[in-house]
Amino acid sequence: MPDRPDYPALIAGHAAVLHMVNSGAVGLPVLDRLLAVTEQAVGATGAAFVEYGPNGGRIVSATGEAEWAVGRPVGGSAGPVTGTEPLPELARLLDADGRRHIVSARAEVGGVAVGSVHAVHPRTSESADPPGPEHQAVLAYVASWAAHLYGDQAGLPVHGDGPVVAALADGLAIVARDGTVQLWNPAAEKVTGWPAADLLGRPLPFPVPPPGQVLDHRLPDGRWLKITSGDLPGPVAARVVTFREGTDQHRRDHDRDLFMAVTSHELRTPVTVIKGYADTLSTHWASLNDSDRHQSARLIGQRAGELARLVDRLLSAANVVGPVGDSPPVPFDLVEALRSAAADLPADLRHRLALRLPENLPKALGDRASLPTVLTELMTNAGKYSPAGTPVELTAEADDRTVAFRVADRGIGVRPDHVERAFERFWQGESGDRRRYPGAGLGLYLVRRIVERQNGWVSLRPREGGGTVAEVRLPRG
């Protein structure tokens, strides 16, 4: 590690990022380039950015030695800045063997932590000093750049407007002991219509529930706010208040309508086909030859299988059939399990699969019984978004920490701003009856639930040369 950062590289890299932004690039590609610049400028062997959401953080971008961790959920929650060390859990993760220094800096917008930047430096010896204040200053500078991207909402947060919403999307206020407003974020202005200039230093204009409770409050214009609060830790006595428009009933109605729309759309085709061929057999049995009868029966069986898989997804997503992937993790042979699961794939997917599996891969720690479900869903997704007949590759590898497998197709590719939203329940890249790609939007949602219950994680990324790569990582056994 150099004693000082490479400032010429930082300036040149900064100019390249500016050029990307001025050329219209947004979101993850800009964040990826920013981390690559960081890694070079501070002499790191890897860098990572964690995006914070209300329910925890997730590594959405990483380079070099940290790239393996993309998609991994970690600690950290969007909200008012508290404490001094961002994500010590992640530092322990990246320095699991004690051979690295981790330098971190938090990205903040208006007093709200939206993420953090982390650089990985090798220890040259047991007594090697950690990176100095200049390296920390560069990380803080890069974090401010990332915060600027989030403040502009230029393709960030990665989670978009799905069910996992960054804190910037919620109204947020910090209220002092005397009840006066100390912070009023831009979303608070948008939700209520009250500008910060009218409220800072004045009492909060609506009641606040006790910490841990929820209050529905009606505004003078008839709209409703859902308000929550919590006490800020530390010596300063203050309370953080978050609020958004709407009530639980509104959200339940929306989720119910979405569930009914998706379900009716996806059930219509197999049910119609099954009924049509069953009516044909019943009405015209005597006039059909054996070949026609077998073809009709085959299509009824195929569509019934599709219908059964769809019902399984819907029931699993609704938790009707119980939790998925809940068996205690045990060591298992990932390559053997993948080969077995591949042999049980539907014929149209099995014929497209190209296996590239190594010998003597270390054992993975997880639930072997859930692997067929995970592979089937990933293969179904790959087959749906790639031309018929094109190969889908299944590969596997291991590093010091994890055992992984990848499903790579040669299809339309996933957009960078969709790599996280694709895991949301019922989310579709297209909507309406003119969608080119059918599906209920449940497959990837279930895959993430299954894998993360085994202390693993799953991620998507565009494939070099076109297509999409889905990667699942499990702890080594």
* Class for the domain spanning 7-152: alpha beta
Among the residue ranges 94-108, 311-325, 375-389, the one predicted with the least confidence is 311-325
Mean pLDDT over 438-459 rounds to 81
Distant-in-sequence, close-in-space partners of 189: CB < 8 Å, separation ≥ 6: 195, 196
In CATH terms, the superfamily for domain 170-246 is PAS domain (3.30.450.20)
Which of 310-324, 363-377, 426-440 has the least mean pLDDT? 426-440
CATH topology match: 249-317 vs 330-475: no
In this prediction the pTM is 0.67
State mean pLDDT over 277-296: 86
Overall fold of domain 330-475 = Heat Shock Protein 90 (3.30.565)
Mean pLDDT of 267-283: 76
Tell me phi and psi for residue 303, to 5 degrees. -70, -35
pLDDT surpassing 80 at residue 281: yes
Helices 443-452 and 371-384 meet at what angle, rounded to 10? Answer: 150
Distance CA 322, CA 311 (A): 14
150 touches 156 (CB < 8 A): yes
Q: Please check the confidence at residue 34 and state whether its pLDDT lies above 90.
A: yes
Q: Which of 166, 24, 21, 67 is nearest to 108 (CA)?
A: 166
User: If you search the block for the tokens 């692997």, which residue do you land on?
Assistant: 371
**Half-sphere exposure of residue 312, counting CA atoms within 13 Å on the CB side?**
12
CA distance 131 to 137: 11
Between the ranges 193-207, 211-225, 295-309, 439-453, where is the mean pLDDT highest?
Answer: 193-207
- Residue 133 and residue 147 in contact, taking contact as beta carbons nearer than 8 Å: no
In this model, does residue 440 exceed pLDDT 80?
A: no
- CATH 3.40.50.1240: does it fit domain 249-317? no
User: Contact 164/55 with Cβ under 8 angstroms?
Assistant: yes
Residue 175 clears pLDDT 70, i.e. is over it: yes
If you search the block for the tokens 């050029």, which residue do you land on? 19
HEC per residue, the chain: CCCCCCHHHHHHHHHHHHHHHHCCCCCHHHHHHHHHHHHHHCCCCEEEEEEEECCEEEEEEEEECCHHHCCCEECCCCEECCCCCCCHHHHHHHCCCCCEEEEEEEEEECCEEEEEEEEEEECCCCCCCCCCHHHHHHHHHHHHHHHHHHHHCCCCCCCCCCCCCCHHHCEEEEEECCCEEEEECHHHHHHHCCCHHHCECCECCCCCCCCCCEEEEECCCCCEEEEEEEECCCCCCEEEEEEEECCHHHHHHHHHHHHHHHHHHHHHHHHHHHHHHHHHHHHHHHHCCHHHHHHHHHHHHHHHHHHHHHHHHHHHHCCCCCCCCCCCCEEECHHHHHHHHHHCCCHHHHCCEEEECCCCCCCEEECHHHHHHHHHHHHHHHHHCCCCCCCEEEEEEECCCEEEEEEECCCCCCCHHHCCHHHCCCCCCCCCCCCCCCCCCCHHHHHHHHHHCCCCEEEEEECCCCCEEEEEEEEEC
282 close to 293: Cβ distance less than 8 angstroms: no
CB 118 within 8 A of CB 46: no
Cβ contacts of residue 301 below 8 Å, gap of 6+? none
Q: Per residue in 97-147, pLDDT tens?
A: 778 888 899 888 767 788 899 999 888 765 566 788 899 999 999 999 888
Note the pLDDT of residue 430: 46
- Band of pLDDT at residue 25, cut at 50, 70 and 90: confident
* pLDDT classification of 474: cutoffs 50, 70, 90: very high
> Would you kindly state where each structural domain of the chain is located, as residue ranges?
7-152, 170-246, 249-317, 330-475
